[in-house]
Chain A
């Protein structure tokens, strides 16, 4: 009985939270004029027009191009983020270097720094390097553990398990990197997966950096492509945008469900054992 009530409340709140998402999926099957008429998500005159027209876009390229671009940016970005964040976190958690506290403070300070402050100086820097209008400015900075939040999260995770295992590995003749690879990495796998997922989703939604660094339409990722048809002087074909948003959501959803178990564990452990 109590369980029934509890599940009733949970389901009700869950539906409430998910409704906008359902509405988006429903909206993608509606003709454009129907979208603002009703709050219901079931289309009266279901149509695939949004998908067909949205996929072809008003540009020289189909939506597949923008999806591929997105992955060409995100995949290297996730890989370099994970590698660099784990290395730096391992350093902070296990080694004593002079000025470590100050450096750690600096790392935390970068989390608080608004990204837009760096925009113009970085733009000028990448211009000097000749990297404008390439994917490089979008992922190369991540190779230097610039996402302080991820480093912080992994450090917290590492603090939560005893050093004895690593000491045992050192006794068996492992050097630091071997300890990291054979002992630490398997244990912190949930945190690593969380980092990868977070970075994946955030990069997927990142609008400002591709907007600034990419000028060729052929290199646009999905986040830019979705906004390509929204203007102030003509009515927007929302059904096309909703349809393409639905498609763009699928990779994130699939990844999340595949890694859900580790993901939840990763955030909670990092959060609780501070």
Chain B
């Protein structure tokens, strides 16, 4: 403890002698017990799975104690940001893929897991999976699961309209008017908020251009103004052909979680373009008697790429300043590859990436889920065109969504929206994509 640190403590202690009296004395640390801290966010099931796995891990390695520091989703990023800024981040952290560009632009923000190979079995992750967590040649994080958005439809509603679940874009667009005629004007084949709209329009355009939407190198959109106009026009077409509800109508149901949208629960909005890692909750809230199915991925005629945004659903990283890298790596390996942990999590967070985890789950005969089927489908689709992590950067995302909203509420035309996406988003990209080594925050 240095002098500058002692002074404020002394002042505070004097001023508040009545309130605080004991500073915990440093424990007499004779036995080599190591205490790790691990942070994650999640819901009830995730907490239970983590806690059970950590207890089992401690039983396997009696000299390591793991303290779980977990929260719900709300606020977790804010807390982690403060901790990283203050140098008090946990040893092991669950992170999102797009957080890598926030905390580790140059690849030094997290521990380079390549140096721990062997302690954590990297051979369980194929090259693509490792690449998603690699920044500037350093393996910053390992993916828990991969996810992409695919099409899920409410088969029951489609059957009511006398239709099968769409297999092509044309069938999807044809379903809109039929829904209006046979079921009523508040029935739509797809439920979409503007975030979903952005993802769907991106896939539509990429199926033609075969290019990523964002080019990190040039810090610009990798698309022309005409491409942007096509995106905007595509949204307009979805609305006019009764495939999705117009923005004012959709907004009247409030800004609630997708699975809690009333017309979704009752089956009036009969489909979602959704993450394979999170589709479980969509099926869970449907009124009894309805069936959600995976549909073939809709492809444009002659398209050679599905335009998927395929990315890690969740990752685990190690603090770059950890005192116990070896123990942290043991914990990582346990969570990714140990049969107990793998089974505890099951398909909770999507289909695991680790090969040994998949083998464990298959051997235990875990029943397939919508998410698992979705991932299997993704594997069969052409998806060579990737996407930059900046596509999910909050500023970029909001830049797109603001313009889609203006378009949706009739303030601007599709052509105008396309022009603005081109100029505005390019401007945002120039600001947020900083060359590595710059080091300053955005």
Contact = CB atoms under 8 A, between A and B. Distances in A.
Interface of A: 33, 36-37, 58-60, 76, 80, 119-120, 123-125, 127-130, 132, 136, 140, 143, 207-208, 211-212, 215-217, 224, 227-237
Given A37-B287, A130-B23, A224-B71, A233 B44 contact: no
Given A36-B260, A231-B72, A233-B278, A128 B5 contact: yes
A80 B349 CA distance: 45
Contacts of A235: 259, 280-281, 284-285
Contacts of B285: 33, 36, 235
A36 B88 contact: no
Interface string B315-346: 00000000000000000000000000000000
Smallest CB-CB A-B distances: 3 pairs: A231-B43, A58-B44, A235-B281
18 contacts: A36-B265, A36-B285, A58-B48, A124-B86, A127-B86, A128-B5, A130-B23, A143-B16, A212-B79, A227-B72, A228-B72, A230-B72, A231-B41, A231-B73, A232-B278, A233-B277, A233-B348, A233-B349
Interface of B: 4-5, 8-9, 12, 15-16, 19-20, 23, 37, 39, 41-48, 51, 67-75, 78-79, 82-83, 85-88, 90, 257, 259-260, 262, 265, 277-278, 280-281, 284-285, 287-288, 313, 348-349
Nearest to A139: B19
A127 B16 CA distance: 18
B42 A212 contact: no
Contacts, number: 126
A232 B46 CA distance: 11
Contact of A229 (B8, B47, B68): B47
A234 B43 contact: yes
B45 A234 contact: yes
Contacts of A234: 42-46, 278, 280-281, 348
A14 B423 CA distance: 50
Nearest to B79: A211
A231 B46 contact: yes
A171 to B, nearest CB: 33
Given A59-B51, A128-B9, A233-B278, 11 more contacts: A59-B70, A123-B85, A132-B88, A143-B19, A217-B68, A217-B69, A217-B70, A231-B41, A231-B42, A231-B72, A233-B280
Nearest to B85: A120
B71 A211 contact: yes
A122 B16 CA distance: 18
Contacts of A36: 260, 262, 265, 285
A124 B19 CA distance: 21
Contacts of B41: 231
Contacts of A130: 5, 9, 23
B8 A129 contact: yes
Given A58-B44, A120-B85, A120-B86, A230 B74 contact: yes
B366 to A, nearest CB: 17
Given A60-B51, A123-B86, A236-B43, A227 B19 contact: no
